């Protein structure tokens, strides 16, 4: 169902929950961020998340962000209904800000891990490391939650360090040629059929503009596309799909 937001916003609050994983993954965020304050070892689960998102990105870009990410699930499922759903400030999308925040994040993360290393060999070591990641999840929950309500649900995702990791992994996949066979992209059946209504842009969680950026091969090549298929589900004439190059055979 589509619900028009207030008059100050041109974006549409479209239902973004299409799979059980995407709908309920937010429970993992709550478990780690809040439960980890009492059971720090829960934070160690974040290490598996980091490995998984980098592996999936190598083959299929930022697919994790749009289909599996626990924080993304929380933003889309719980925050969208109460979000102002406004335009994301340009500076939050800028390369300078994204790189600066990534460096800041990694510096603090490494510094805290080095400090925890002093507990190596003790029974508390895993708790100390787990607590670091649990706290990180809690910070994302709080900061990302505030930004999600005040601006739009996926505001944090614009400069999320894990998103940056994914883009780095994805570029390695592109360099090795792996993504040519595995990556699925938003694909338009025929650019001539597009009405240029902009519905795909208005419902896009990242506020991208697919209808204005389809390449000559009829695919949307933006590296920030999270392949959530929200635009596919909401195209009024049904000419969008999520396909890799091998699947680009239209009737």
pLDDT, one tens digit per residue, over 140-172 is 999 999 999 999 999 999 999 999 999 999 999
What's the pTM value of the predicted model, to 2 decimals?
Answer: 0.91
Residues 172-204 have pLDDT tens digits of 999 999 998 999 999 999 989 999 999 999 999
Kindly report the number of other CB atoms within 10 A of residue 174's CB atom.
Answer: 15
Q: Would you list the domain boundaries of the chain?
A: 14-171, 184-247
Torsion of the alpha carbons at 93, 54, 219 and 188, rounded to the nearest 10: -100
Flag whether pLDDT at 3 surpasses 50: no
Is the pLDDT at 217 greater than 90, yes or no? no
Contact 79, 17 (CB under 8 A): no
Q: Which CATH class is domain 184-247?
A: alpha beta
pLDDT at 2: 45
Kindly report, residue by residue over 83-100, the tens digit of the pLDDT.
999 999 999 999 999 999
- Residue at token pair 């041109």: 10
Beta strands 240-243 and 185-188 are antiparallel
Say which residue the tokens 């490995």 belong to: 51
Sign of CA dihedral 203, 88, 28, 224: positive
Q: What is the pLDDT of residue 8?
A: 52
């Amino acid at each position: 169902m589509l619900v028009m937001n207030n008059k100050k916003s041109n974006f549409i609050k479209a239902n973004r929950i299409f799979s059980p994983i995407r709908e309920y993954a937010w429970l993992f965020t709550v478990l780690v961020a809040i439960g980890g304050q009492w059971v720090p070892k829960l934070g160690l689960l974040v290490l598996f998340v980091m490995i998984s998102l980098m592996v999936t990105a190598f083959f299929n870009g930022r697919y994790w962000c749009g289909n599996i990410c626990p924080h993304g699930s929380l933003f889309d499922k719980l925050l969208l209904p109460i979000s102002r759903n406004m335009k994301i400030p340009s500076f939050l999308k800028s390369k300078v800000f994204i790189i600066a925040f990534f460096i800041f994040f990694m510096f603090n993360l490494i510094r805290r891990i080095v400090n925890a290393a002093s507990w190596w060999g003790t029974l508390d070591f895993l708790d100390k490391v787990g607590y670091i990641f649990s706290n990180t999840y809690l910070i994302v929950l709080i900061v990302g939650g505030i930004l999600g309500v005040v601006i739009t649900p996926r505001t944090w995702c614009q400069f999320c360090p894990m998103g940056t990791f994914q883009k780095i992994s994805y570029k390695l996949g592109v360099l090795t040629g792996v993504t040519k066979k595995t990556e699925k992209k938003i694909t338009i059946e025929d650019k001539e059929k597009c009405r240029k209504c902009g519905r795909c842009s208005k419902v896009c969680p990242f506020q991208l503009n697919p209808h204005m950026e389809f390449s000559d091969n009829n695919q949307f090549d933006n590296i920030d596309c999270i392949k959530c298929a929200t635009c596919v589900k909401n195209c009024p004439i049904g000419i969008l799909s999520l396909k890799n190059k091998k699947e680009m055979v239209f009737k």
